[in-house]
A and B are shown apart, each in its own frame.
Chain A
């Protein structure tokens, strides 16, 4: 536990007295130490576990911590899906009870207690010339945290991107962080991916116009789900990037996340018994054809159509909602494998990570 985060008082200075106004309790989660330098979407499990462990400290004699610091400075890379869920988590954490109807992260403690006070969340990104700093800047991370009132240790960077970094980032970015609130936002996202960056997909993955159109369609379905199912005030985010790793086929990864009502609550609008399902079951049902949270005939095509297509692209889909994550992985014979990963904590909304390779 100590490796993952530290509880300190009065900033970095050791303080042996009782916490007071001048010496607040500060909890630091070192994300780099926790996730081995790269933040993937499936690291959410560990992140939530760390938050749960942190909350456990409230059982002890320690007073409630007032500041929660998410330290990203030891990371070297964040995947697009890792970035979207991290920001949705930060958004939910910054003030969980600011509005009653807005979902918050449910952090379990050993005694099922919630923090007595809501800590102020602060994020520490790496500074320049760290490559991750440039990437976060390029993707729009700093604009997001500023706009949503998430305290960030690196004030709005005035440092311009070095030309070589900009060239490199441009050559692999399919979609910078984009907020999804209306159908126009979704259409713009699809336009971006199928328009100006189609050449990038062609160069890295050999995608034809057909492939780009299929990708645009899957992206549209994933994003439109937020508008249709996440709830009125939900905030959605999407980002995408081509990722090239040695000894691996290049792939495009799309991350979509929202802070809405989640899959189980959405399904229960059309299937009342769904409210009693475990989250895992709700996710698996949502992936089936014809299952939808909208009580209309012929609905429930969106997620199913994504699963239907991933086999053509050696793809993988991760879907997280509540306290479960389901991975759907294409097999070479055209079928798919389903794996369930239960989590220790519940997240608000839904998170989707889609990975596609060259068409087989």
Chain B
């Protein structure tokens, strides 16, 4: 195989993590209360979620296209649907067109439950790094993000393969998942679907030795 477009964004720019803390979200003392057993934050209400969305949008717009903004959630304990909806849903829906992505990091068990509910209700997916466990309760591979949202197991497995490889094409996927007996069309569909879900990004189109072209994807995470 010969890459014909290798200079065009062969990797995603990953910015420094943005800590979701009291200073970032608090502007008039309304939305946040420190937990009684910890200093973690309780985030509730649409108005407050909108305020965070404005901040996040500003930060993401300052990044180059094809970049990832890690949002460090270690200080967040709970987030209600209304807050999360206004803070993240629109941002998530704009990812594919905008070419700027976000990933949530250090997501605790409680926040994971809230975000999992939100993503399933709103029908979007979001890669995140859990702080101590994965949603199914089993041991999560330390080097693989969890996808929050309604995504079938085969698509999660496909994302896992893409993550391990760093970049992936339909032919790579067929090689990596021989048990799935994928055709080129089926493999392409899977990768395309994951790109639609905002957990992969199409980096480039490369020429295939012997004729033809194929898309190269990279995982968001």
- Residue B80 lies at the interface, judged by CB distance under 8 Å to chain A: yes
Q: Given the complex, which residues of A lie within 8 Å of B89, measured CB to CB?
A: 298
Partner of B30, one of A183, A192, A212: A183
Segment among B40-48, B63-71, B156-164 that sits at the interface with chain A: B40-48
Size band of the interface chain B makes with A:
20 to 34
Contacts of A271 in B (CB 8 A): none
Contact in complex: B48, A183 (CB < 8 Å): yes
Knowing A194-B42, A209-B109, A220-B44, say if A187 contacts B82 (CB, 8 Å).
Answer: no
B29 within 8 A of A: yes
Chain A residues near B110 (CB-CB < 8 A): 194, 209-210, 212-213, 216
A214 within 8 A of B: yes
Residues of A within 8 A of B113 (CB): 209-211, 213-214, 217
B109 touches A302 (CB 8 A): no
Residues on the B chain within 8 Å of A18, using CB: none
Please give the distance in Å from A97's CB to the nearest CB on chain B: 33
Q: Is the interface of B mostly helix, strand, loop or mixed?
A: mixed
Q: Are B82 and A224 in contact (CB under 8 A)?
A: yes
Chain B neighbourhood of A221, CB < 8 A? 80-82
Report whether over half of chain A's contact residues are helix, strand or loop; otherwise say mixed: helix
Let me know if A131 is at the binding interface, CB within 8 A: no
Per the 8 Å Cβ criterion, residues 42-57 of B in contact with A are: 42-48
B114 touches A305 (CB 8 A): no
| Interface members, chain A 142-185 (any B CB < 8 Å) | 182-184
Q: Chain A contacts of B36 at CB under 8 A?
A: 191-192, 195-196
Q: Is A113 an interface residue (CB 8 A)?
A: no
Contact of A213 among B29, B46, B78 (CB under 8 A): B78
Q: Please tell me the number of chain A residues within 8 Å of chain B, measured between CB atoms.
A: 32
Q: Are B78 and A188 in contact (CB under 8 A)?
A: no
Q: Give bound CA distance, A216 to B108, whole Å.
A: 15
Residue contact A298 to B109, C-beta cutoff 8 Å: no
How far is A194 from B38 in the complex, measured between Cα atoms in Å? 11
Q: Which residues of B contact A191 (CB under 8 A)?
A: 33-36, 42, 77-78
Say if the beta carbon of A186 comes within 8 Å of chain B: yes
Minimum C-beta distance from B105 to chain A (A): 18
Interface contact A184-B111, CB-CB below 8 Å:
no
Q: A209-B109, A227-B45, A298-B85 in contact; A190/B117 too (CB < 8 A)?
A: no
- What are 29 A-B contacts defined by CB distance under 8 Å? A183-B47, A184-B30, A184-B33, A188-B33, A188-B42, A190-B42, A191-B36, A194-B35, A194-B78, A195-B37, A209-B109, A210-B110, A210-B112, A212-B110, A213-B110, A213-B111, A213-B113, A213-B114, A214-B114, A220-B78, A220-B80, A221-B80, A221-B81, A224-B44, A224-B45, A227-B45, A301-B81, A305-B81, A308-B121
